[in-house]
């Protein structure tokens, strides 16, 4: 049994989406970001970073969205969201999962929380730098998808990394250049959004934007 602590549209989205795809029993606990429930003493006991997502797996908390996607795909490998060990697809899957987590998520943090790095007086500089790093990653991902797509891992179907990539593309929807301006990324997003699980996810999280 799984329990996912989430906030609508946040880094928990990809994990929630994969739980729906895997069709495994899970419970949802929605946190109120405005009320800073993610910083409550009870929640900090599960995730000392005070961030979502946290997934309670058989009674034990685990955090970091990319790790949770890897874990879920591996625990339910029969559902086909992790490429087989020893294949080129497995290598690309791990590469892009870590690349998204290491290289793309940090500038998104800077874009959405621009005061954090150096105070409000430097927010615009921080955002400009973040935007450059985000767009450079879209350049590389688009080129990769053109050469090895249509799925991120180059596998026959979507794997857990496509859920992370699509969530991150969604985060860019109100940026000056959303990820969907890159054609191969737009095609990936379109295929992922066509999945019935995406509509279910949107209904559950109460999302409407980028439907
Ligand atoms: N690296 C973390 C990032 C988590 C993260 O930054 N979550 C944001 C929402 S997208 C959050 O909880 N923000 C609330 C806060 O900063 O207090 C992950 O991938 O799980």
| Integer Rg of the chain from CA | 17
Please report the atom of ligand 1 found closest to the CA of residue 171. Answer: 10
Confidence (pTM): 0.98
Is the minimum distance from the CB of 10 to ligand 1 under 6 angstroms?
yes
Domain 2-80+198-205 classification at class level: alpha beta
The whole-number pLDDT of residue 127 equals 97
The whole-number pLDDT of residue 155 equals 82
The residues near 127 (Cβ < 8 Å, ≥ 6 apart) are 110, 111, 114
CATH 1.20.1050.10 domain extents, the chain: 88-195
Q: Which CATH architecture has domain 88-195?
A: Up-down Bundle (1.20)
Q: CA distances (Å), 132 to each of 79, 105, 170, in order?
A: 37, 13, 17
Distance from the CA of 162 to the center of ligand 1, in angstroms?
A: 19
CATH 3.40.30.10 domain extents, the chain: 2-80+198-205
Ligand 1 atom 9 nearest Cα: 10
Ligand 1 atom 20 nearest Cα: 64
101-152 pLDDT per residue, tens? 999 999 999 999 999 989 999 999 999 999 999 999 999 999 999 999 999 9
Closest CA to 98 of 69, 77, 133: 69
Distance from the CA of 146 to the center of ligand 1, in angstroms?
A: 30
């Amino acid at each position: 049994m799984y329990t996912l602590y989430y906030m609508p549209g946040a880094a928990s989205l990809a994990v929630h989406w994969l739980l729906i795809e895997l069709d495994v029993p899970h419970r949802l606990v929605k946190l109120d970001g405005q009320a800073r429930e993610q910083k409550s003493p009870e929640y900090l006991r599960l995730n000392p970073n005070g961030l979502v997502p946290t997934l309670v797996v058989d009674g034990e908390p685990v955090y970091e969205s990319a790790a949770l996607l890897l874990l879920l795909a591996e625990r339910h490998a029969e559902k086909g969201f992790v490429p087989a060990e020893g294949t080129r697809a497995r290598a690309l899957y791990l590469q892009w999962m870590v690349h998204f987590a290491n290289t793309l998520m940090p500038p998104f943090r800077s874009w959405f929380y621009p005061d954090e790095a150096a105070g409000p007086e430097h927010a615009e500089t921080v955002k400009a730098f973040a935007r450059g790093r985000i767009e450079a990653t879209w350049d590389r991902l688009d080129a990769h998808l053109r050469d090895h797509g249509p799925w991120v891992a180059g596998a026959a179907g979507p794997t857990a990394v496509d859920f992370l990539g699509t969530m991150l593309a969604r985060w860019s929807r109100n940026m000056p250049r959303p990820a969907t301006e890159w054609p191969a990324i737009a095609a990936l997003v379109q295929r992922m959004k066509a999945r019935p699980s995406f509509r279910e996810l949107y209904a559950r999280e109460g999302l409407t934007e980028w439907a």
